[in-house]
Amino acid sequence: MLSARATVMRDLEATGAASAETVSLLEDAVAERRWWAEQWPAGEAYVGGLVAQDLQDALLQRVGRWPVCPRCDDAVHALYIHPELGGPDPVWVCEESGTVVAPLGGLTGGLTGGA
Ligand SMILES: [Zn+2]
């Protein structure tokens, strides 16, 4: 769980979206998935992606889309986690073009969360 938290935290920081509020939402997502991961140790490969998806949902309600696609110049749109189950080997995919942008935890700077 610590690695899931650290992985998603890296993406929050890389996109400039890390703040007291977003980190607290991340903590909530990690806490909610912790029980689940303890019941099913083989699900560890999915936890990072699931935490990222939970965080996306929480941010969408309070802050706005995260993370915003860095590839396309047109309308602002978000990335989503693929595979949808959260893993294994979760990657961020552009919801418009369907292209893989980065592995989870591998987003690079210059992205800002669009509200
Ligand atoms: Zn895009």
- Domain residue limits at 63: 2-103
Q: How far is the CA of 74 from the centre of ligand 1 (A)?
A: 8
**Predicted structure pTM score:** 0.89
Q: How far is the CA of 108 from the centre of ligand 1 (A)?
A: 15
Cis amide leading into 41 (omega within 30) = no
Query: Is the residue at 85 inside a domain?
Result: yes
Helix (H, G, I), strand (E, B) or coil at 13: helix
Query: Is the residue at 110 inside a domain?
Result: no
Q: In the prediction, which pLDDT does 115 show?
A: 37
Q: How many domains does the chain have?
A: 1
Read off the pLDDT of residues 68-92 as tens digits, 9 standing for 90 and up.
998 897 778 999 999 999 999 999 9
Rounded to whole angstroms, how far apart are CA atoms 44 and 111? Answer: 28
Read off the pLDDT of residues 12-55 as tens digits, 9 standing for 90 and up.
999 999 999 999 999 999 999 998 888 988 888 999 999 999 99
Q: How far is the CA of 15 from the centre of ligand 1 (A)?
A: 15
Rounded to whole angstroms, how far apart are CA atoms 68 and 72? Answer: 10
Ion ligand 1, residue ranges at CB < 5 A: 69, 71-72, 94, 96
DSSP string for 22-74: HHHHHHHHHHHHHHHHHH-GGGHHHHHHHHHHHHHHHHHHHT-BSSBPSS-SS
